[in-house]
Amino acid sequence: MSILAFCEFQGSTLRTSALANLAFARASSAHGDVIALLIGPGAAAAAADATKYAPKVITVEDGALAHYLAETYAPVVARLAKENGATLVSATATAVGKDMIPRVAGEFTECEDVTHHSTFASSASFFTSVGISATI
């Protein structure tokens, strides 16, 4: 069992939103190991930064994934979640995260429930996640 955290990056560094996502994943680590997932051109360059926050990092670089489209990213995320035994897939509430996660849920053949959770950790910290109950 593991947590697959989809992380956005720019150049060779993770975006600030990815750091919040990895903090959420680590806080939820009772579910298992945290795996950072980076998709797109330059993912390998940003992997070094991601290893500071997650014990395992998966990168996917493919010409077909050069520009974000939920229709191309979601199947990759779902496949990797299944292959790595993820019980939780997380992403931050950016435009990409909110667009992709429902489509990831749709990739699971028997998705039973998709829920959105928001939590205020402090006046400066806000966490949101989408939970998926699925038979994989």
CATH number at residue 129: 3.40.50.620
**Residues contacting 74, CB < 8 A, separation 6+:** 100, 103, 104, 106, 107
Which two three-digit tokens encode residue 55? 């014990």
**pTM to 2 decimal places:** 0.80
Which amino acid is residue 14, in one-letter code? L
Q: What is the pLDDT along the chain (136 residues), one digit of tens a residue?
A: 789 999 999 999 999 999 999 999 998 877 579 999 999 999 999 999 999 999 999 999 998 999 999 999 999 999 999 999 998 899 988 999 989 998 888 887 655 555 555 554 555 544 555 444 444 4
- Structural domains of the chain, count: 1
* Structural domain harbouring 107: 2-135
Please give the Cα distance from 28 to 41 (Å, whole number). Answer: 29
